[in-house]
């Protein structure tokens, strides 16, 4: 748990050369050494010394949040992360930590808010952009942020007087990526009919990305086959129930439907 949060530890901007800030930096270094060794109580004392002499030390407040969370004091951890953001709203590390924290506290709306912030602060290719995207997908909020991005991109494209064809191409690609994400999420949850529907939308859009189309075709085939298998299983189960009830006409109908579905699984 702690090792995950320690990824957010970084120096950021160069600190002032004043003796007070230099001493605060030393305290933070000592705290981090103890934290790395698993001595959270010891680390806590040094981080507290750091903010005592330098109340604007945003990184130390973030560190305190990590330590308090490691000690199980989620309320104090929350206060420390929020204090770091109060000092610098553009400091990215606490946004991810608050996202994790509110998931742990079973407060999904707050978790979504902070994961959105972390996602938007990250550059493309950034590790935490991908991490935030994963959590927003899990929380069911990535579709919303993707739509916001699409609207923002559309506005930018309009301002830059890019051709309608290029705007449509980009819109189609982003929309296809959205449906692909939703389809993959449904596939991992074994919601095969929903997955088949979403991957089908990707193929219908025919986005200008050959790799995306290829993957969508593969997953669409898998989802379709699994959905057919589920359908056959359901009909066989219904057949057994009809058999128990003595409803032989319905039994024969269900068996025929199940048998007719079998060749579709093997159809190329």
Q: Which domains does the chain have, with CATH numbers?
A: 1-91 (1.25.40.10)
pLDDT tens string 87-123: 999 999 999 999 999 999 999 999 999 999 999 898 8
Once rounded to an integer, what is the mean pLDDT over residues 20-28? 94
Residue 73, pLDDT above cutoff 90: yes
What pLDDT score was predicted for residue 163?
67
- For the purposes of burial, counting CB atoms within 10 Å of the CB of 10, is it exposed (0-12), middle (13-18) or buried (19 or more)? exposed
Residue 80, pLDDT above cutoff 90: yes
Q: By mean pLDDT, which of 99-113, 180-194, 241-255 is the weakest? A: 241-255
Retrieve residue 252's tokens.
């024969």
Q: Where is pLDDT greater, at 16 or 121?
A: 121
What pLDDT score was predicted for residue 162?
58
What pLDDT score was predicted for residue 251?
67
Contact predicate 207/225, CB 8 Å: no
Once rounded to an integer, what is the mean pLDDT over residues 236-254? 76
Residue 226, pLDDT above cutoff 80: yes
Residue 268, pLDDT above cutoff 80: no
Percentage of the chain exceeding pLDDT 70: 81
Residue 206, helix vs strand vs coil: coil
pLDDT band with cut points at 50, 70 and 90 for residue 2: very low
What pLDDT score was predicted for residue 262?
58
Residue 248, helix vs strand vs coil: helix
What pLDDT score was predicted for residue 16?
43
pTM (predicted TM-score):
0.52
What DSSP line would sit under 45-91, residue for residue? HHHHHHHHH-TT-HHHHHHHHHHHHHTT-HHHHHHHHHHHHHH-TT-
Q: Where is pLDDT greater, at 261 or 227?
A: 227
Contact predicate 142/134, CB 8 Å: no
What pLDDT score was predicted for residue 223?
87
What pLDDT score was predicted for residue 82?
97
């Amino acid at each position: 748990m702690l090792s995950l949060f320690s990824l957010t530890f970084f120096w950021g901007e160069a600190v002032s050369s004043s003796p007070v800030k230099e001493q605060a930096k030393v305290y933070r270094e000592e705290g981090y050494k103890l934290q790395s060794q698993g001595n959270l109580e010891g680390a806590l004392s040094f981080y507290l010394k750091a903010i005592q002499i330098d109340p604007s030390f945003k990184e130390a407040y973030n560190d305190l949040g990590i330590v308090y969370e490691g000690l199980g004091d989620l309320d104090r951890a929350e206060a420390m992360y929020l204090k770091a953001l109060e000092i610098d709203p553009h400091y990215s590390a606490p946004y991810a930590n608050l996202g994790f924290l509110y998931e742990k506290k079973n407060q999904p709306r707050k978790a979504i808010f902070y994961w959105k912030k972390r996602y938007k602060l990250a550059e493309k290719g950034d590790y935490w952009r991908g991490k935030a995207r994963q959590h927003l997908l899990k929380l069911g909020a990535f579709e919303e942020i993707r739509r916001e991005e699409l609207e923002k991109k559309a506005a930018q494209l309009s301002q830059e007087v890019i051709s309608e064809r290029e705007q449509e191409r980009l819109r189609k690609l982003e929309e296809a990526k959205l449906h692909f994400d939703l389809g993959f999420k449904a596939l991992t949850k074994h919601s095969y009919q929903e997955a088949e529907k979403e991957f089908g939308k990707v193929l219908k859009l025919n986005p200008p990305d050959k790799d995306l189309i290829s993957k969508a075709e593969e997953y669409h085939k898998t989802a379709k086959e699994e959905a057919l298998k589920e359908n056959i299983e359901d009909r066989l189960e219904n057949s057994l129930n009809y058999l128990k009830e003595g409803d032989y006409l319905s039994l024969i109908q269900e068996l025929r439907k199940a048998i007719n579905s079998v060749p579709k699984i093997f159809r190329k």
